Structure 1
Amino acid sequence: MGAEVSTNSDSRVADASPSNWVDRWAPVSWRPYLRLGRFDRPIGAWLLLFPCWWSLTLAQVASREPFPDFRSILLFTIGAFAMRASGCAYNDYVDRFIDAKVQRTASRPIPSGQVTPAGALKFVVVMALVGLAVLLQFNWFTVWLGIASLLIVAVYPFAKRVTSYPQIVLGLAFNWGALVGWAAEKGSLDWPAVALYAGCVLWTVGYDTIYAHQDKEDDALLGLGSTALHFGDNTVSYVGAFYGLAGILWLTAGALAGAHLVYFLSVTLVFLQMSWQVATLDIDDPSNCLRRFKSNRDVGIAVFLGLIADMSLSWFAGLS
């Protein structure tokens, strides 16, 4: 892929932190592809990963396992980062002409000339093969379930061209791991996984609506759809409703799986964090929106730790 990189390989991406590890430590020749895969902005990979971890550990709670399956956790981590990179590169390839017209995205590797379109497609394939290698470590039901997500992933970049609700399509694709994690443990799908998935979809619609407010002026000029534009000044109410319903569905998933008090307490704390996002959101301040969007990593961590605590405390209680 190195032959597909332009000489402008050390240009930073506008919305990446100046202190990110890619621009500080990675070999210069690697940086364009690491930027293309968003390794300099890993929040998206974390948000893709957490539903996988939640679903896996929720299934293990239901199975009364004493500790999480660290091998599966590691596999999902590798898979999530690889598939996030592949998906971002594919999205950037499809959107390369649009990105060139938007201030925040014009510095991305393809429109800025750091990576050619052909080089981006090669990167898509390489990262997808890494994801496939991870997927093949699980049972065949999980393998085919994971492959089924590719249809939604392929459609997503085009959604904003035809609908005001591309965030729903993103939510359906981005949270497929909430189904895959359960299937990896159980070899099938059950209602707790469905409830968890539905809650995660609503969560994504909420936080990506916040994120989309950074680009709403450009999207309007380009004739692109987004929930940020559609909800407008009512965004706070809509995001609050999405977050509230997400929390209810996560509680429902826990109840169906036989989770214990500590899990429900963790979801309650998460609801308070999401309430902070809604109460302090300023849709006309891009930095405010970005901070609240990124804070959803705290949501992911809290729910995951709640599930691990549920498993561990139940095990200790069984010993007493």
Structure 2
Amino acid sequence: MITRSEDRRVQDSLPQSWVDRAPRAIRPYLRLARYDRPAGFWLLGLPGWAGIALAGIGRGYGAADLLWALLIALGAVAMRGAGCTYNDIVDRDLDAQVARTADRPLAAGTVTLRAAWAFLLAQCLAGLAVLLLLPLPAQIVALGSIPLVAGYPFMKRLTWWPQAWLGLTFNWAALVGFAAASGTLGAPGLILYAGLVFWTLGYDTIYACQDKEDDALIGVKSTARLFGAHAPLWVSAFYAVCAIAAAAAGYAAGLSWIAALAALPFAAHLGWQAARFRPDDGALCLGLFKSNREAGLLLAAGYASVQLFLLA
């Protein structure tokens, strides 16, 4: 794979990461897959961990659950990289017109289009290898995400609600994890998935506030532009729905108020974000968006901790 110009750091990547110390020839590909922006790997994988933890309420956990969690993590890395590569292939002309994305490898010309397609195929093959190690019910569920992934890059051109489509896509691992651990798609997993769609609606609205001006100039749609000054109210509403659904999923899994309360730390984190959110503060918006790694960890850990109380 031959690059056409020097490697460039992308604006909202980590100030320093292992990507900056990687061999120069592969750095643009690591940036194309967003290895210098790891928050997305967490946000794709954590719903799967929450699904596994939710499925274990009442029955406990075993070595297989650790295996499913590891495979979910590996799959998140492979498929988030593939999804970002595909997204950048589709959006390369738009990215070149937005300050935050102008240094992405395809927009900046540090990776050729042909090389990007080859890199995408390699990542998809890695994702397929992970898929084949999951139990059959989880494999079948996972395949259902393909149309969502394929359609996402076009949503910002078609609807003011691309964040909703992203929510449907990014939280699919909750269904995969629940199916892997339980062998089926039950009501708790479906309730969790529905709630997490609203989580993404909230955090990606916060994230999109960074690009409102550039998006308006090039005609890209988003909930951040749609809501304008009312974005904090909408984000608060989305997070409230998500918190209620997370508690309802816990109750449905454990038939206990303790299982419902497992979502309380997650809900508190969402409330903290909503209270601090200021649409016109780009640096704050980025920081709040990244903090959702901790929010997702709180949810998965909360569900997993229920079993300790049930055994006490």
Question: Could you tell me how far apart the structure 2 residues matched to 1:59 and 1:269 are?
Answer: 19
Matched residue of 1:206: which SS? helix
Aligned to 2:169: 173
Equivalent residue for 2:11, pick from 14, 37, 41: 14
User: Would you identify which runs of 4 or more consecutive aligned residues in structure 1 move more than 6 Å?
Assistant: none
Residues 55 and 178 in structure 1, CA contact (< 8 A), matched pair in contact too: yes
Query: Over aligned residue pairs, what C-alpha RMSD do you find?
Result: 1.6
Distance, in Å, in 2 between the alignment partners of 1:212 and 1:50 is 21
2:200 to 182, 197, 204: 204
Report the secondary structure of 2:210's partner residue.
Answer: coil
Long gaps (5+) in structure 1: none
Comparing 54-63 with 259-268, which one deviates more in the overlay? 259-268
Report how far residue 259 of structure 1 moved.
Answer: 6.5
CA distance, structure 1, for counterparts of residue 225 and residue 279 of structure 2: 11
Aligned to 2:157: 161
Please state if 1:33 is matched with 2:29: yes
State the partner residue of 1:248.
Answer: 244
1:217 Cα shift? 0.7
Amino acid at match of 2:131: L
Q: Please, which of 295, 302, 310 is the counterpart of residue 298 of structure 2? A: 302
Distance in 2, Cα, partners of 1:266 & 1:64: 15
Work out the number of aligned pairs and report it: 312
Cα separation, 2, equivalents of 1:285 and 1:14: 16
- CA deviations 1:237-275 (Å, max 9, x no partner) are 100000000000001100010066665444212222211
Uncovered stretches (5+) of structure 2, i.e. residues with no partner: none
Partner of 1:109: 105
Question: CA offsets, 1:125-146, max 9 Å, x none?
Answer: 1111111111111222221211
Q: Distance in 1 between matches of 2:188 and 2:262?
A: 17
1:194 matched to 2:195: no
Question: TM-score, normalised on structure 2?
Answer: 0.96
Answer yes or no: is 1:79 the counterpart of 2:42: no
1:6 aligned partner, one-letter code: R
3-state SS of 2:263 partner: helix
Q: Distance in 2 between matches of 1:219 and 1:286?
A: 14
Deviation at residue 185 of structure 1 after TM alignment: 1.6
Letter in 2 for 1:254: G
Q: Per the alignment, in what secondary structure is the counterpart of residue 64 of structure 1?
A: coil
Matched ranges for 1:1-150 at <5 A: 2-3=1-2, 5-9=3-7, 11-23=8-20, 25-65=21-61, 69-150=65-146
The letter for the 2-side match of 1:311 is Q
Post-superposition shift, 1:307? Answer: 2.2
Query: How far apart in 1 are the matches of 2:129 and 2:33?
Result: 18
Cα distance in 1, alignment partners of residues 304 and 279 from structure 2 = 35
- Judge conservation of contact 2:167–2:196 (CA < 8 Å) in 1: yes
Aligned equivalents of 2:161 and 2:178: distance in 1? 27
Cα gap change, 1:28 to 1:263, in 2 (>3 Å): farther
Q: Equivalent residue of 2:156, what SS?
A: helix
Query: Would you say the 8 A contact 1:260–1:310 is kept in 2?
Result: no
Q: What amino acid maps onto 1:229 in structure 2?
A: R
| Distance in 2 of aligned mates of 1:286 and 1:166 | 20
Taking structure 1 as the reference length, the TM-score comes to 0.93
Deviations 1:77-119 (A, max 9, x none): 1100110000000000000000001111000011111111111
Please give the alpha-carbon distance, in whole angstroms, between the structure 1 residues aligned to 2:134 and 2:187: 21
The answer as to whether partners of 1:60 and 1:68 remain within 8 angstroms in 2 is no
Please tell me the residue identity of whatever aligns with 1:173.
Answer: T
Q: 1:222 to 1:197 in 2, by over 3 A?
A: same
Identity, in percent, stands at 46
Instruction: Please say which of residues 113-122 and 57-66 is displaced more in the overlay.
Output: 57-66
